[in-house]
C-alpha cells in the first residue's frame, strides 16, 4: 500500500475565499475547479478542502448540519464529484475536513437529542444537570469566549460546547455515535476522497466525571480560556480507541491518509501520541508552529522533540492556515523575501507539509476594521485577539479586476489593498516573485529525493542560523536574523537559494537561505 502522504505537500483551500464562480461573493466548488490548474502548476501533491458541508455557518462550516451533503452556497454533490475527478486527472489527491467533535445545533441528531431525555439520541451529546445553585456543571470555558455550557429549556439540562453555543459537542464515548461517524467516513471514502483532516481530533471526548479544570500558574491574561489548564475538557486517553477504530475504517481503503489537528498544552507529545504505531492516524499537526514563537532554536527543538517520542510517529507541519494570522506577518516583516524564506524552510522539514492558499504569493495578514469582521472568535475577543478573518480574505487573482478577480459581486470579506500588488497575474512570469520562487522550490524538492524522503539531522549553528541536512546529501541553511551572516559550507548551491557561495564560504543575506548539495559539516564564521 502506498504511503504517498509521507512525502507530500498538500495545499489548503478555504473554499469561501478561494474563487467565486456565481458572483454571490462567496467562493464555491465550481470556482475551485476553475482555478485548479493554478494549484497543479505549483507542483503540490494534493489539496485539503476546509468544510463545504451543509451548515448554518455560525462558525463558517465548522458547525455541520449534514455531514453527507454540500451546502448550496458551495454547490452540489455533483459539483464535488466533478472537482474530485478533475483533481485526480491532474494527479492531485483530495483531502477533506471531517468535524467529529461537534455538530451544528441544527443537525437532526441534536434536534432529536434535545427534545427530551428518553429519545433514541438522548445521549448522543454531552448533557449534564445543573449544580444545586443552578450554575453550570463545572468551570469549563469555551474557546470563543464565555462558559462552555448552555442551558436548554426542553431538557432542563446544560449541554456542553467547546466552541460556540451553536456547536454542541457530541458524546463520542457513545458507541452509536462512533458508529454514525464511521458511516460518515465511509460515505466520503466511497466517493473517492484520498483522506481526511480531522478537526480538533483531541477534542472528541471529555472527562467522564466532568471534573473542573485546574488553574494555570502563568498566562497571558488576554482570554479567560487561557487561565485554565485544559486537563479535562479534551485530550482524554479513551479517545485513542476511537482513533484506532477510525484508522481501521480508512485502512480498509487503499492509499488513504488521515491528518489530525491537535491543540492542547502538550502539542508535540499529543501529535506523536495520535500518530504512534500503525494503528493510529497517518500524521498530525499542531499549533506549535502556528503560534508566535519563532527562532532557529524553537524550530529545531520542536522537530527534535517530536521525533524523540516513542512509537515511530509521523508529523505534519504548517506555518499558516485559516485559524491563525499569516506567518510572514505573525513572525516577521511581511516582506516577499521573508515569505520566500519561510516557504523554503517549510519545504525543508521532514514530514507531511501543508501550504495554505496565498502562501505561494507571500500574502501578509490583512488588517481589517472592527466592522468588517465576521469571525465570532475575533468579534468576541476584540481587540486583544489577532483575528482569523485577516487570514481568510479573498484570494487575489487579478490586480486590476473588480475584487481582485475573486468574484464579480461584493465579497464576504474585503480584498485589502496590499494584496492587489501580490495578485497571481502580477506575479506570474516574474522570476523574482514569491510565486515563481515557490514553484522553483517545489520543483527542486520534487526532483530531489533527499528532501522528500531522506533522513535528517540538524547542524550545530548559532542563533539566528538554522541548518539541517536531508538524506545526508542536501544542507538546508537559513539566516533568521536581521544581519547578513556567513559560514563554511562546501558543496553546490541549488538554484532556488537566496545566498551566494564563494568557494566554500556561504554568504546569507537577511532572510537568506540556501540548499547546498553534498554539503559536509559546517562551522559558523
Q: How do residues 336-354 score in pLDDT, each as one tens digit?
A: 999 999 999 999 999 999 9
Buried residues in 485-501 as b, exposed as e (16+ CB within 10 A): bbbebbbebbebbbbeb
Q: What is the CA radius of gyration of the chain?
A: 23
Q: What DSSP assignment string belongs to 139-177?
A: --B-TTSSBSEEEETTTTEEEE-SS-TTSPBB-TTSHHH
Are 94 and 146 found together in one domain? no
All three cell numbers of 229, joined, read: 489548564
pLDDT mean over 99-106: 98
Are 202 and 316 found together in one domain? yes
Are 331 and 461 found together in one domain? no
Are 149 and 180 found together in one domain? no
- Asked if the model's pLDDT at residue 47 lies above 90, the reply is yes
Are 380 and 474 found together in one domain? no
Are 356 and 298 found together in one domain? yes
Of 442, 472, 496, the one marking the end of a domain is 442
The DSSP bridge pattern shows strands 513-517 and 492-493 to be: antiparallel
In a domain, 237, yes or no: yes
What distance in Å separates the CA atoms of residue 97 and residue 16, rounded to the nearest whole number? 14
Determine whether 502 is exposed, middle or buried from the number of CB atoms within 10 Å of its CB (0-12, 13-18, 19+).
exposed
Of 171, 200, 222, the one marking the end of a domain is 171
In the prediction, which pLDDT does 518 show?
73
Instruction: Classify the C-alpha dihedral 313-319-321-323 as positive or negative.
Output: positive
Three-class SS state of 456: strand
Grade residue 378 by pLDDT with cuts at 50, 70 and 90: confident
Are 384 and 419 found together in one domain? yes
The DSSP bridge pattern shows strands 93-98 and 195-198 to be: parallel
Q: How do residues 514-525 score in pLDDT, each as one tens digit?
A: 999 974 444 443
pLDDT mean over 6-29: 98
Is 261 annotated as catalytic? Answer: yes
CATH classification at residue 502: 2.60.40.1180
- Say how many domains are in the chain: 3
In the prediction, which pLDDT does 385 show?
61
Of 120, 141, 171, the one marking the end of a domain is 171
What distance in Å separates the CA atoms of residue 209 and residue 293, rounded to the nearest whole number? 35
Whether this prediction's pTM lies above 0.85 is answered by yes
In a domain, 450, yes or no: no
In a domain, 448, yes or no: no
- Asked if the model's pLDDT at residue 384 lies above 80, the reply is no
- Asked if the model's pLDDT at residue 424 lies above 60, the reply is yes
397 with 423: CB under 8 angstroms?
yes
In a domain, 38, yes or no: yes
The range of the structural domain enclosing residue 26 comes to 4-103+175-442
Are 11 and 68 found together in one domain? yes
Are 124 and 60 found together in one domain? no
Q: How do residues 49-88 score in pLDDT, each as one tens digit?
A: 999 999 999 999 999 999 999 999 999 999 999 999 999 9
Are 147 and 187 found together in one domain? no
In a domain, 487, yes or no: yes
All three cell numbers of 175, joined, read: 458507541
Q: How do residues 166-222 score in pLDDT, each as one tens digit?
A: 999 999 999 999 999 999 999 999 999 999 999 999 999 999 999 999 999 888 777
Q: What percent of the chain has pLDDT over 70?
A: 98
In a domain, 202, yes or no: yes
Q: What percent of the chain has pLDDT over 90?
A: 93
| DSSP code at position 136 | -
In a domain, 449, yes or no: no
Are 381 and 318 found together in one domain? yes
**Between the CA of residue 171 and those of 21, 103, 488, what are the distances in Å?**
38, 11, 57
Instruction: Tell me what the pLDDT averaged over the chain comes to.
Output: 95
Is 323 annotated as catalytic? Answer: no
The angle that helices 77-89 and 175-191 make with each other, rounded to 10 degrees, is: 60
182 with 245: CB under 8 angstroms?
yes
Are 235 and 99 found together in one domain? yes
Catalytic residue among 28, 199, 269, 360: 199
- Asked if the model's pLDDT at residue 452 lies above 80, the reply is yes
Catalytic residue among 45, 152, 261, 389: 261
Amino acid at each position: 500500500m502506498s504511503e504517498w502522504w509521507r512525502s507530500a505537500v498538500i495545499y489548503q483551500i478555504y473554499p469561501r475565499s478561494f474563487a467565486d464562480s456565481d458572483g454571490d461573493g462567496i467562493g464555491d466548488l465550481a470556482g475551485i475547479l476553475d482555478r485548479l490548474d493554478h494549484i497543479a502548476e505549483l507542483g503540490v501533491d494534493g489539496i485539503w478542502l476546509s468544510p463545504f458541508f451543509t451548515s448554518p455557518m455560525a462558525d463558517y462550516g465548522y458547525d455541520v448540519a449534514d455531514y453527507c451533503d454540500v451546502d448550496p452556497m458551495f454547490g452540489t454533490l455533483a459539483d464535488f464529484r466533478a472537482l474530485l475527478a478533475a483533481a485526480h486527472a491532474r494527479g492531485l489527491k483530495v483531502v477533506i475536513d471531517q468535524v467529529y467533535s461537534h455538530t451544528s445545533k441544527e443537525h437532526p441528531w441534536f434536534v432529536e437529542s434535545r427534545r427530551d431525555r428518553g429519545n433514541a439520541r438522548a445521549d448522543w451529546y454531552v448533557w449534564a444537570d445543573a449544580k444545586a445553585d443552578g450554575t453550570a456543571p463545572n468551570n469549563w470555558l469555551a474557546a470563543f469566549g464565555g462558559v462552555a455550557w448552555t442551558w436548554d429549556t426542553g431538557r432542563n439540562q446544560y449541554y456542553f460546547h467547546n466552541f460556540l453555543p451553536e456547536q454542541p459537542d457530541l458524546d463520542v464515548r457513545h458507541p452509536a455515535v462512533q458508529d454514525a461517524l464511521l458511516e460518515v467516513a465511509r460515505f466520503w471514502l466511497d466517493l473517492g476522497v484520498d483522506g481526511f483532516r480531522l478537526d480538533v481530533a483531541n477534542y472528541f471526548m471529555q472527562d467522564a466525571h466532568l471534573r473542573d479544570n485546574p488553574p494555570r500558574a502563568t498566562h497571558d491574561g488576554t482570554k479567560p480560556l487561557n487561565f485554565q489548564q485544559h486537563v479535562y475538557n479534551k485530550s482524554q486517553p479513551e479517545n485513542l480507541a476511537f482513533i484506532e477504530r477510525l484508522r481501521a475504517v480508512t485502512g480498509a481503503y487503499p492509499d488513504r491518509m488521515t491528518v489530525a489537528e491537535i491543540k492542547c498544552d502538550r502539542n508535540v507529545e499529543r501529535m506523536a501520541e495520535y500518530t504512534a504505531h500503525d494503528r493510529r492516524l497517518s500524521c498530525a499537526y499542531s499549533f506549535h508552529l502556528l503560534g508566535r514563537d519563532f527562532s532557529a532554536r524553537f524550530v529545531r527543538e520542536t522537530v527534535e522533540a517530536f521525533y524523540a517520542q516513542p512509537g515511530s510517529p509521523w508529523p505534519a507541519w504548517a506555518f499558516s492556515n485559516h485559524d491563525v494570522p499569516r506567518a510572514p506577518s505573525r513572525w516577521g516583516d511581511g516582506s516577499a523575501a521573508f515569505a520566500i524564506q519561510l516557504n523554503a524552510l517549510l519545504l525543508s522539514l521532514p514530514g507531511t507539509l501543508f501550504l495554505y492558499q496565498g502562501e505561494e504569493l507571500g500574502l501578509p495578514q490583512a488588517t481589517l476594521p472592527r466592522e468588517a469582521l465576521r469571525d465570532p472568535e475575533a468579534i468576541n475577543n476584540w481587540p486583544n485577539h489577532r483575528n482569523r478573518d485577516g487570514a481568510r480574505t479573498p484570494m487575489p487573482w487579478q490586480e486590476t479586476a473588480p475584487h481582485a478577480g475573486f468574484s464579480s459581486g461584493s465579497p464576504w470579506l474585503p480584498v485589502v489593498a496590499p494584496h492587489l500588488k501580490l495578485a497571481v497575474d502580477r506575479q506570474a512570469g516574474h522570476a523574482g516573485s514569491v510565486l515563481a520562487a515557490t514553484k522553483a522550490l517545489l520543483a527542486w524538492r520534487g526532483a530531489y529525493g533527499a528532501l522528500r524522503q531522506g533522513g535528517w539531522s540538524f547542524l550545530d549553528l548559532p542563533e539566528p542560523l538554522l541548518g539541517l541536512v536531508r538524506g545526508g546529501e542536501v544542507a538546508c541553511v537559513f539566516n533568521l536574523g536581521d544581519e547578513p551572516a556567513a559560514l563554511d559550507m562546501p558543496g553546490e548551491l541549488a538554484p532556488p537559494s537566496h545566498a551566494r557561495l564563494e568557494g566554500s564560504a556561504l554568504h546569507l543575506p537577511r532572510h537568506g537561505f540556501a540548499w547546498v548539495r553534498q554539503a559536509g559539516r559546517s562551522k559558523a564564521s
